[in-house]
A and B are shown apart, each in its own frame.
Chain A
């Protein structure tokens, strides 16, 4: 498989009332063509910011991407794109769906016109033809009676229908990469199932890549080929979904999987909760960011940042427990692996 996007040493910091803080710290990962990659983490871990940087949505006023960071889209660094190239890239090469569809749609413009508008920005196409394509896109997104629906305004749509029209809008230029930022968090489970099914089939039909940002490990299990777990602005574990679910290598991922109650779990058992709280944006972190909540915390964890260890093909975890010197006799998850070559 070819790499569609390569993200290298991405570091994003924000400036606010209290001072500067890093929202994303030295994140590197690739998105392959035609795959679904899930970025998983709790709120404030930097997953949304990472995704937004792919579309140049980091506000220049108070956010900044470090000089050394590179985001290569088909080998070209998008951070050095000209304005014109950005315009071509956004929407045509890369589309985005947001959590709150009502906020992302313009309430005063008809749905059909909004979608057609998106097409007309990128292609020389008549108003009428654009409208027809918009209706086709709505039909593809599973909206019944698209001809009538296209003439309606966002407030006349239900939550699920709005998310479907967002998908239609993002898909109309047939992007190579679709970024979905918590697309189903605001929806009911029955609607969530519908939307996830739609995204899965669209991804297969158009052979596009999908970057799914979510906190829901169940949703990830249903769609993702690979996943990356983020904590406090860093990727702590990345690899094939199956490897991560069944051969977990990082204590945070492990605890996260154990902390969610499951339908096939038993009733009344205590959940293995993670103590403490995730670090806040402004906290200064030395060593491993998870050290304060990790039950296997060692002296070295609070002194030095752990290196990356590789396990199965492309499965990495950053945790000191995989060091040969570490005592792993009481660890419940998989340990042992090869230390990656540090740059």
Chain B
């Protein structure tokens, strides 16, 4: 009985403070979990990674993308040319890789410009409120109601075409969407108690935006960014297809499609390859955006 009595001794029981089970998972970790749970997302990530690496390694290709070889023109895929050759005998695979460089670069840089400008515009508008907000948002409305594609074509005719002019003119007509999302987010964030607490501590407005509003907006902005890459790639391809984008002999997926037009009946693969690249890249970025959004919602 003594051993039983021993158990009834008062103790000062202080269990472990940490709750290991509920340790906060890092963003990357939950992102990976979210991707693993979604087959489409796995495919999208793998595709983007493959494209990215292939495009980076494009110079390793034995062919020069611009070198014409009329003797071997319009060869079908295989026989040393993975995707065959085009109407001037250039290796189609190599051109597709170099074209991907242009598309991805334009997409990435347009996204950067769009996001930075849209975020700044949206935060200022949302935080300031009142007349400033009204004016800034009307400017956004006006920009949005301009038939942008037409204007893009006109603009492109005046400015010397090139990679960075493309980035510039695509961004001009893409930042409004981001600005609107960011403004809505700012307006909801600035009513939160922690902003009031910061004001109560005497924090400057600039610091409130910088330390509290922007960090809390990052999830929204990242999701917007992935969509905006996709849109920029699509716009670039459309422009190039119409002949207003990157100028020959530089290749891009858009102007490859244009070149394929003449042979769409006898050499359909010339249209299929760049078309599939555009489709899958854009789709993958959209899937990625969706996964990012889900991760942020859970986390």
Contacts and interface: CB of A to CB of B under 8 A. Distances in A.
A282 B12 contact: no
B11 interface: yes
A206 B254 CA distance: 77
A325 B4 contact: yes
Interface stretch (A122-130, A245-253, A290-298): A290-298
Contact of A297 (B5, B12, B19): B12
A297 B6 CA distance: 13
B13 A292 contact: yes
B297 interface: no
A231 to B, nearest CB: 15
Interface string A285-306: 0000001101011111111000
Interface string A313-331: 0000000100101110000
A298 B19 CA distance: 23
Interface residues of A, number: 22
Nearest to B14: A292
A296 B8 CA distance: 10
Given A291-B13, A297-B13, A302-B13, A18 B8 contact: no
B298 interface: yes
B34 to A, nearest CB: 11
A19 B7 CA distance: 33
Contact of B11 (A280, A283, A298): A298
B201 interface: no
A297 B298 CA distance: 38
A283 B22 CA distance: 9
- The DSSP consensus for interface residues of chain A is loop
Given A325-B4, A325-B5, A282 B22 contact: yes
Contacts of B19: 280, 282-283
A299 B6 contact: yes
B8 A292 contact: no
Contacts of A291: 13
B191 interface: no
B8 A297 contact: no
B21 interface: yes
Interface string B103-142: 0000000000000000000000000000000000000000
Nearest to A284: B21
A19 B141 CA distance: 48
Interface of B: 4-15, 19, 21-22, 298
16 contacts: A280-B19, A282-B21, A296-B10, A298-B8, A298-B9, A299-B9, A300-B8, A301-B13, A302-B11, A302-B13, A303-B7, A320-B8, A323-B8, A325-B4, A325-B8, A326-B8
